[in-house]
Amino acid sequence: MSYILLVGAGFSGAVIGRELAEAGHDVDIIDQRLHVAGNCHTERDEYSGVMLHVYGPHIFHTDDAQVWEYVTRFSVFKPYVNRVKSTVGGAVYSLPINLHTINQFFGKTLRPDEAKAFIEQQADTSISDPQTFEEQALRFVGRDLYEAFFKGYTKKQWGCEPSELPASILKRLPVRFNYNDNYFFHRFQGMPEHGYTALVEKILDHENITVKLNTAFDPSMTEQYDHVFYSGPLDGYFSFSEGRLGYRTLDFERFTYQGDYQGCAVMNYGEESVPFTRITEHKHFSPWEKHERSVCYREYSRACGPDDIPYYPIRLVKEKEMLSRYVALAENTEGVTFVGRLGTYRYLDMDVTIREALDTARGFLDCVENNQPVPAFFVKPL
């Protein structure tokens, strides 16, 4: 049996660790933080009793039945439907853009097929194959809705023009010609009853797994192990020799309130003149709990500096060039596999992270069984 090191105790590390532990390997998991679960970490707030999403909101949603089965093995999931609002020009609208948003915004009473025809008139149909965020928006919702709901928000969130960003970022959001205001398409959606940290702790609760918190990775550690899975930042592993891959980081300005501050979990602010992107009211992420007091975060996005927590990989042309140099370095590094959002520098939802972690563990076990070298990446960053 092999002796495996996992760097990082977020979903990637925990799921790979669990799978390998169940296959009989000895697993050590280290994390430099004082808690597991990475940026999904949740914690009970002392003042209010509310379960806080310490590093910003995480809502579990997936179409992958196996992933859903996997997470529900370790925690009860309580029903939760993400319903997001957006405050723009002194009014509150429903997101994702749906029939209510369209009728309210344009002061109309359109039926679904009428709304579809109306939006098609607004849309720039000369764009046949949208490449950028802006083109995608102009093609599918037209200029007015784009400017109200996406342009300012996106400039604040990403710190650049929407014309510089890939269309894929906007493809995360649907446009609906009915009154369905569920933010996600997916069949399965919910929140772990006792938070994400308790869920990840359960995944890690196995006799073959040793978790060491408050422990930073040191390259010399690799010598003691048969294989290392690294879910930290890819550039950090190579001491930033090729430069720093660009990330956005978030600042949360906490404030408290007696009662219900905004009546929903997530209120976006579409305008550029409002400096924050959204306000999250955390007790609404656990609608089955009752709390008188409330805790909210104003969320600000900015460029990630060397001492900040990386959140969103930027992945523009410049970053992708640098990324390809890191990929080459990683592929020349034996005994290490790079995984997860930071290890592969991709914008990943939790369910995709878990799916990839399950596949990575399977791939590793196959390599071991067939005496084949273990690749640097089971999922290519580019």
| Residues acting as catalytic residues | 172, 176, 248, 278, 299, 347, 349
Would you count residue 157 as binding ligand UDP (CB under 6 A)? yes
Would you count residue 172 as binding ligand UDP (CB under 6 A)? yes
Would you count residue 279 as binding ligand UDP (CB under 6 A)? no
Residue with Cβ nearer ligand UDP (108 or 172): 172
Residue with Cβ nearer ligand UDP (25 or 85): 85
Would you count residue 150 as binding ligand UDP (CB under 6 A)? yes
Would you count residue 98 as binding ligand UDP (CB under 6 A)? no
Query: Shortest Cβ distance from residue 57 to ligand UDP (Å)?
Result: 7
Would you count residue 344 as binding ligand UDP (CB under 6 A)? no
Q: How far apart are CA 31 and CA 34, in angstroms?
A: 8
Residue with Cβ nearer ligand UDP (209 or 267): 267
- Which range binds ligand UDP by CB under 6 A, 3-11, 35-43, 167-175, 192-200? 167-175
Would you count residue 154 as binding ligand UDP (CB under 6 A)? yes
C-beta of residue 56 within 8 angstroms of C-beta of residue 238:
no
Which region holds residue 84: left if phi is over 0, alpha if psi is between -120 and 50, else beta? beta
Size of the site for ligand UDP (CB under 6 A): 13
Binds ligand UDP (CB under 6 A): choice among 141, 169, 279, 314:
169
Would you count residue 348 as binding ligand UDP (CB under 6 A)? no
C-beta of residue 132 within 8 angstroms of C-beta of residue 162:
yes
Please give the residue ranges that form the binding site for ligand UDP (CB under 6 A).
86, 95, 149-150, 153-154, 157, 169-170, 172-173, 268, 270
